[in-house]
């Protein structure tokens, strides 16, 4: 039997045309485009088309996809009264998991699912605040309508651009844990909704997509740049992991951190203040120093979640929505991977090495 690795580090489990993560160079390519290029020029619908169809859309294709995404949001909104207690869950990812399970497995999956998630996430947030859900406006882009369904007003263009930059940038990222989970379920010939629910379940954890809310909590707890070093030293001395740092693949700074910093700078240039950017940069410097001192052999830099927190905060999202918003974006990648896995057509079924007690003889077992 092959050597085991409890985290499957370095193991190639699929061939994919969807995205490539170069952890040494700090480069992310999505279907032939550097993520920096996509984030600067594309809306989320463009990248959905890229992931699902293999090319950026023509103007007519984009209009068609945008309209169908709008219809999917309206269909999800009509489903809200039938979601039972899904939207009264205390945690947004638990709500999303439950609500997504109500989608019909036979729908044309990708558009229905990706269209539904922002409706569920915004309705959940409003329910936690005792507010009614806001009906989608199918004429808007998904990013604009998502912000409108959260806040109740048509958002200014700068915020929509910030949201698009976020959604585009995190839409896919190689064989991350949630994508793997979705592909495992798809490989059993289960339905697309079940595979996406598996992705949501994996993304929920703080070692994957659950970190950006805690990142903001950490920035609040640190409070001021001059307290960063002492705060981080104490956290590390207590054996805590610093949220938003470290990555299984990247040995350099996660390229998406720089994309988000630029998106924040663009927002600032359009007079949208970023309340925590300066503090975040100071904490990043202090954390890198503290982590280098403790793990000189292991480069630990900012991962996507650190500046996710700062960008989504600047766009005006409450921290409870950070991970559900990650799910909205990554669902585009999950759906593309689910389709690719189906084409591969092979059950994912690795092995384990038994290290339990040796079997008793039948006679001894019955005695």
**3-state secondary structure at position 302:** strand
Between 64 and 299, whose beta carbon lies closer to ligand COA? Answer: 299
Between 46 and 284, whose beta carbon lies closer to ligand COA? Answer: 284
User: What secondary structure, in 3-state letters, does 238-284 show?
Assistant: CCCCCCCECCCCCCCCCHHHHHHHHHHHHHHHCCCCCCCHHHHHHHH
Name the strand (E) or helix (H) holding 26.
none
CB of 211 to ligand COA, least distance (A): 4
CB of 186 to ligand COA, least distance (A): 23
List the Cα angle 105/177/196 in 5-degree steps: 10
**3-state secondary structure at position 324:** helix
Contact 336, 52 (CB under 8 A): yes
CB of 263 to ligand COA, least distance (A): 18
Between 138 and 214, whose beta carbon lies closer to ligand COA? Answer: 214
Applying CB under 6 A, which residues contact ligand COA? 7, 206-208, 211, 241-248, 291, 295, 298, 300, 303-305
Q: Which residue is nearest to ligand COA (CB)?
A: 246
Contact 143, 164 (CB under 8 A): yes
Between 238 and 361, whose beta carbon lies closer to ligand COA? Answer: 238
CB of 125 to ligand COA, least distance (A): 22
**Residues near 254 by beta carbon (within 8 Å), at least 6 away in sequence:** 26, 247, 301, 302, 303, 304
CB of 172 to ligand COA, least distance (A): 14
Between 52 and 306, whose beta carbon lies closer to ligand COA? Answer: 306
Residues with catalytic roles: 247, 305
List C-alpha distances in Å: 317 to 92, 121, 162, 365. 13, 11, 11, 60
Which segments of 89-154 does DSSP mark as H helices, in order?
92-100, 109-128, 142-151
Cα–Cα distance, 147 to 142 (Å, whole number): 9
Both structure tokens of 226: 């001059």
With tokens 């019955």, the residue in question is 366
Between 168 and 300, whose beta carbon lies closer to ligand COA? Answer: 300
Cα–Cα distance, 271 to 160 (Å, whole number): 14
Between 53 and 298, whose beta carbon lies closer to ligand COA? Answer: 298
CB of 215 to ligand COA, least distance (A): 8
CB of 260 to ligand COA, least distance (A): 13
List the Cα angle 91/181/324 in 5-degree steps: 25
Strand order through the sheet with 27-30? 19-22, 27-30, 33-34
């Amino acid at each position: 039997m092959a050597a085991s690795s409890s985290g499957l580090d370095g193991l190639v489990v699929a061939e994919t045309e969807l995205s490539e993560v170069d952890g040494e160079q700090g480069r992310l390519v999505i279907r032939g485009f550097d993520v920096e290029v996509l984030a600067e020029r594309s809306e989320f619908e463009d990248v959905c088309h890229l992931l699902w169809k293999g090319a950026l859309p023509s103007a007519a294709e984009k209009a068609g996809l945008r309209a169908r995404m709008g219809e999917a949001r309206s269909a999800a909104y009509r489903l809200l009264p039938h979601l039972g207690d899904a939207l009264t869950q205390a945690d947004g990812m638990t709500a999303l998991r439950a609500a997504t399970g109500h989608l019909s497995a036979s729908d044309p999956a990708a558009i229905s699912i990706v269209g539904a998630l922002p409706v569920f996430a915004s309705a959940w947030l409003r329910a936690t605040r005792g507010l009614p859900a806001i009906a989608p406006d199918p004429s808007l882009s998904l990013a604009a309508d998502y912000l409108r369904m959260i806040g109740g007003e048509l958002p200014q263009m700068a915020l929509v651009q910030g949201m698009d930059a976020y959604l585009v940038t995190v839409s896919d990222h190689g064989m991350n844990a949630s994508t793997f989970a979705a592909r495992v379920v798809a490989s059993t010939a289960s339905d697309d909704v079940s595979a996406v629910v598996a992705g949501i379940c994996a993304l929920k954890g703080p070692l994957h997509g659950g970190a950006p809310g805690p990142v903001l909590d950490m920035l609040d707890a640190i409070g001021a740049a001059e307290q960063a070093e002492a705060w981080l030293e104490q956290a590390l001395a207590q054996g805590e992991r610093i949220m938003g740092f470290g990555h299984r693949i990247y040995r350099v700074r996660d390229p998406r951190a720089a994309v988000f910093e630029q998106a924040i700078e663009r927002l600032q240039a359009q007079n949208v203040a970023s309340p925590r950017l300066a503090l975040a940069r100071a904490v990043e410097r202090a954390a890198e120093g503290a982590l280098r001192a403790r793990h000189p052999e292991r480069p630990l830099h900012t991962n996507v979640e650190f500046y996710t927190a700062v960008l989504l905060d600047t766009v005006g999202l409450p921290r409870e929505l950070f991970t559900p918003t990650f799910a909205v974006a990554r669902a585009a990648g999950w759906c593309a991977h689910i389709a690719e896995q189906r084409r591969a057509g092979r059950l994912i079924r690795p092995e384990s090495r038994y290290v339990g007690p040796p079997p008793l003889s039948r006679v001894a077992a019955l005695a």
